[in-house]
A and B are shown apart, each in its own frame.
Chain A
Amino acid sequence: GQNIDQPTEMTATEGAIVQINCTYQTSGFNGLFWYQQHAGEAPTFLSYNVLDGLEEKGRFSSFLSRSKGYSYLLLKELQMKDSASYLCAATDSNYQLIWGAGTKLIIKP
């Protein structure tokens, strides 16, 4: 079956660094998305990885290992506004998105 696993909740301190992991099993694989969703709002796009390696975009970076079926989202210099859920989604061979349940990130002062 197709499955995405990510931690349910994480807590971190303002100004620190946090890594949110995601493992996936899909029928074929074309790429992996990370979305941010603040409570009561729509998901918004953060990153898309197709090739192995780290892609950096400001304070946020995303890593992919296709051989291990593994990705992580790295958030640096955490700010209170980073408190949100982070959704991992993989595209299968038909470009259909398989979504994880999301990781709720709580930032403490």
Chain B
Amino acid sequence: TQLLEQSPQFLSIQEGENLTVYCNSSSVFSSLQWYRQEPGEGPVLLVTVVTGGEVKKLKRLTFQFGDARKDSSLHITAAQPGDTGLYLCAGASNDYKLSFGAGTTVTVRA
């Protein structure tokens, strides 16, 4: 059972469109991370959010941590083919272990 539920599981959009990926849990996390993974490679950390209500921007990517620190969202504006990949959210509790969502596969068509 995944502690973190990601939705949607798959997302296919045209270049230039916007998209949002959601990460939800009934558990409270001390921090939440987003990773992107390309085929045949390991996940690469994109961002860490720590404070409830926090919003972080990374170029065209906007990350939000819910006020209660149980959920998060990733919004991509004007998606490009280079944004294609598997997006994973991961929540940290009081030890060093992370709980991962199953991931959202994003495909951006040129």
On whether the two chains bind one another, the answer is no
Residues of A within 8 A of B (CB): none
